[in-house]
Structure 1
Amino acid sequence: MEKSDDLGSHISQEMSNFSAFHPEFFLLMGVPGLEDSHLLISIPFSIMYFLSLLGNTIMVLVISTHESLHQPMYIFLMMLALTDVFLTSSTIPKTLSIFWFGSHKIYYNGCLAQVFFIHFNFGTESAILLSMAYDCYFAICKPLTYSSSLTGTFIWKIAMVALFRSFCIITPFVFLLKRLPFQQSNLIEHTYCEHMSVAKLATADISVNVVYGLIIAACSAGLDMILIVVSYTIIVSAVLRLPSSEARFKAFNTCVSHICVIILFYIPAFFSFIAHRVGHEHISLEFHIIFANLYVLVPPMMNPIIYGIKTREIQQRFFAIVCKVICDDFVARVSLTKR
């Protein structure tokens, strides 16, 4: 608590030095009330971040370097892996710097940039998950037209639409925050700059921010989730009608990995979204902040594991790369020994 009080007095002193419309910087508190446990909390966070970077990097390298994997499903997986890297990297490095070095300061424009990239990557990942459901629908329900419908050009068009949609719907968040005055406090009770956690500090009406956030959540991630549920309802119905039990098992096996990833992504994200609206009299601030970090850590960490276990082709290519590296290293050591 003494550490928190010192931080608070430092904030008050800094705030008294200027009366600008916008503060020069914000101060991210980390996890209020658990300041003494920051180093302990950082251990699982850093492990999960490392595993996320490692797993998703391997996924991108394996898929991008093998032409046999340049198929719709694997290209979507590569897009998902890239988005996961950007999503975790937009929040966790700053979170860890708070935990390790007490680096609470984030400049005003840097905070707005972080708001943009967090929500932009979230929106892009939601669109990619919808695209993967669309891919699964065509593969199971319309296999005869699969190759002709999901061409390479069409897939990259989907990627461009996903990026363009995220850019268009997330950019207004930055301008909605930029119009607000912050003349009382620059203390953010979080480990990173999230739209509502920043907006709540404003000394003006934030109704527009709240309403726009609700509309975007409903019309992007909410609509994506509804379309995904509809797609998988049709897919499951089609799978149950397959005559062969082996074909049904193979189709269900493909669907299960997608469904696991979707559950891991949407449920924690919507929990964090709701927590901002219901207030911390119902959900403790500490739990909300830790959970908000887990929703940008756990799905990116688990996605490569889920798809690595469920997708035999990725396993085979990965082990082939590992074997080649080991063999090349062994041959190089033998040749050096002979010399």
Structure 2
Amino acid sequence: MSTKNHHLKSLAHSPDPIGLFFSILNQFTSTSSFFSNGKLITIETESFDVQENFRDWPLLQGHNFAAKLFCGFLNWLFHIMSDVAGSSGAIGRGSGVALPFYELFQLCDFGNLQVGQYRNTIATIATKVFEEGYDARFGLTMSIPVILCDLSIKLLWAIKHYFYNKRPLSECIPNKWHDDLRIMLIFGDGTLCLMDGADAAIRSGGNWVNFFLRLNIIAWFRLVSLVLREICIRTGISFPVQKQLETNAKVNDALKLYLSELEQIDFEAFRKETEHYNRMITQIERVDNENELNILLKLECKLQGISLPYEGEFNDFMQDRNGKLVFQ
């Protein structure tokens, strides 16, 4: 197995959850795991000798449960760090770490695609494409036009809604709940993929390796994810975890607003007012007749600086047909 192939076929070198899982699994089982010829191959080794031939970083091996978890994570992380810029044994640029989940193409051991004078499976073509430099560094480069396309569409959408449709700024923040924005993103990324596919088909000359080398897999993945998301939204299929996260975010925003309002309250003044009202309630409970209650209420209004809406005695005011209540 060549060094280039090793970076792709060794699952411990995969920069995704699959690679992390197998790196930790290899710690507990003292094995090495590979994808080859459409199959998962597991090699037993007590000292990780199989990986020793290809490593650029000394492998760590734990001796208890916690240590094995920690060492499995560090081995996975150091593998990626050491391979991200290309193998130290490669001439020139060298193949670096593969794109996330790109190793799954090794399970596609089927197909009969023409490459020069020979026909190869999808797994073989994926390996050749990777050896030609289709790695994570190239993936970052491919993501630039996808990001620019996405951001430009969202920017133009926000500008139109704010200046043309006169929407509040809070309603001009792009998110997936705007139907028109989702459709614009699908058409924008679809146009990018159409141009990318046409360019790859024309310039590849019928060679499948050259075709995939020129194909922007990031743009196609983005298009598929946008279409699937739109189908889920249109059909009412939703993800409970995502809904719960969005609900929690709204609750957190409401709590922050409530806390900011609480911080503006003068608690000392509130305490004094509460004590005054409690004393007032106690005095009212001790009143024995209506006259005492009227005297107490008038005195309290005077202490609070509250003007009565009538003049004289209340009974005399109520008997006056021309009397009017005047609140100040």
TM (norm. structure 2) is 0.28
TM (norm. structure 1) is 0.27
Pair member with larger Rg: 2
Higher-RCO chain (CA-CA 8 Å, sequence separation at least 6): 1
The structure whose residues are more often helix, as a share, is 1
